A and B are shown apart, each in its own frame.
Chain A
Amino acid sequence: MLATRGNLASSANQGATDPPSIDTVAQSLAGFEAGEAQAPEPVSNQVNWQDLVDRIHKGEESGMEELYRLFGRGIRYYLCRQLGHQELDDKVHDTFVIVVQAIRRGELREPDRLMGFVRTVVRRQVAAYIDDAVHSRRDELNLDVGVRVADRRNNPEQTAVFRQKVELMLEVLRSLSARDREILTRFYLDEESQESICQEMGLSETQFRLLKSRAKARFGEIGKRKLQQKPLISVSLRTSSGSGH
């Protein structure tokens, strides 16, 4: 999420050490529980790529609008993931322009491969931005004044939410056996492959998957339980303060 003046102000008022609201943690915990909701059908199943590419090729505005609507948010997400929030709109726009120009020049011969083409363009863009950043950093190495550094840290509320989740996960991990914790450590922290962990620790693929999914489900359950307890505390506090009058 991009930091706006409004939410920065509210974060500042709230203070860096204040706990986040229950709703905020609840929203961010949703989806960690076992079992997934029925996912909607992906957009790619509903698109007539040939017709879309034809319309863009002819310069029809409706084609370009549809293309932007189709991948605008996804490209934004990918670019943001790779390069951060800085000048994101410009980067999305540049990518869009390159794709449209290539289609108009007739460079896309297989319309069904449009998303593959878009992926290639985006990857080239990311590589070019990183290359630029490396060069400009090298050029500006000796300049102390006027160098803009993007702040990619989370705001205080996000940091507090993250900290709460880590506490929940610590609870989950402490409830596991030392052997199960070792398996998770080797996978998530040491980045050992599933195959080598299974082989060395005498596990089947199913056992390995089960351990991971149980830890994840337990994380969701504990989070949910804690959230259900919190409103009760606030109600009892309100009741006890009210009884004093």
Chain B
Amino acid sequence: MSTCIVLHFPDDVLEKYAMGSLSNLDCGPLEEHLPLCEDCRTRLMKVEEYILVVRAALTELEIHSNARIGAQSVFAL
């Protein structure tokens, strides 16, 4: 019986894939694995969502800190 032994992919590989920073060479095995593996698909969805949440929160913090710096410089004048 011919079988293809594939392990589950770790979260850091899924994270790189989600952020588009995984090399083309490394994308192949993952994209061949994903259609067959519910577990990796579910984890990839969670990783993608986590990235969106972190980005939204970091953006919000940056906006607030920039606004604070702006206000401080106005008062300093």
Asked whether A44 and B6 contact (CB < 8 A) given A118-B35, A119-B31, the answer is yes
Chain B residue nearest to A216 (CB atoms) is B50
Q: Are B58 and A189 in contact (CB under 8 A)?
A: yes
Q: Are B36 and A184 in contact (CB under 8 A)?
A: no
Chain B binder among A4-12, A45-53, A55-63, A137-145: A45-53
Chain A residue nearest to B56 (CB atoms) is A166
In the complex, how many residue pairs between chain A and chain B have their CB atoms under 8 Å apart? 124
Number of interface residues of B (CB under 8 A): 41
Asked whether A170 and B36 contact (CB < 8 A) given A45-B4, A78-B31, A112-B4, the answer is no
Instruction: Give the bracket for the number of chain A residues in contact with chain B.
Output: 35 or more
Which listed residue, A45, A119, A169, touches B6 by the CB 8 Å rule?
Answer: A45
| Interface of chain B, main secondary structure | helix
Q: Are A71 and B4 in contact (CB under 8 A)?
A: no
A211 at the interface (CB under 8 A from B): no
Interface pairs (8), CB distance under 8 Å: A36-B43, A44-B6, A46-B3, A71-B35, A118-B35, A170-B57, A216-B50, A219-B53
Q: Are A75 and B54 in contact (CB under 8 A)?
A: no
Interface residues, chain B, with chain A CB atoms under 8 Å away: 1-8, 11-12, 19, 21, 28, 31-43, 46, 49-62
User: Using Cβ atoms and an 8 Å threshold, which residues of chain B touch A185?
Assistant: 58, 62
User: Using Cβ atoms and an 8 Å threshold, which residues of chain A touch B52?
Assistant: 162
Q: Are B61 and A181 in contact (CB under 8 A)?
A: yes
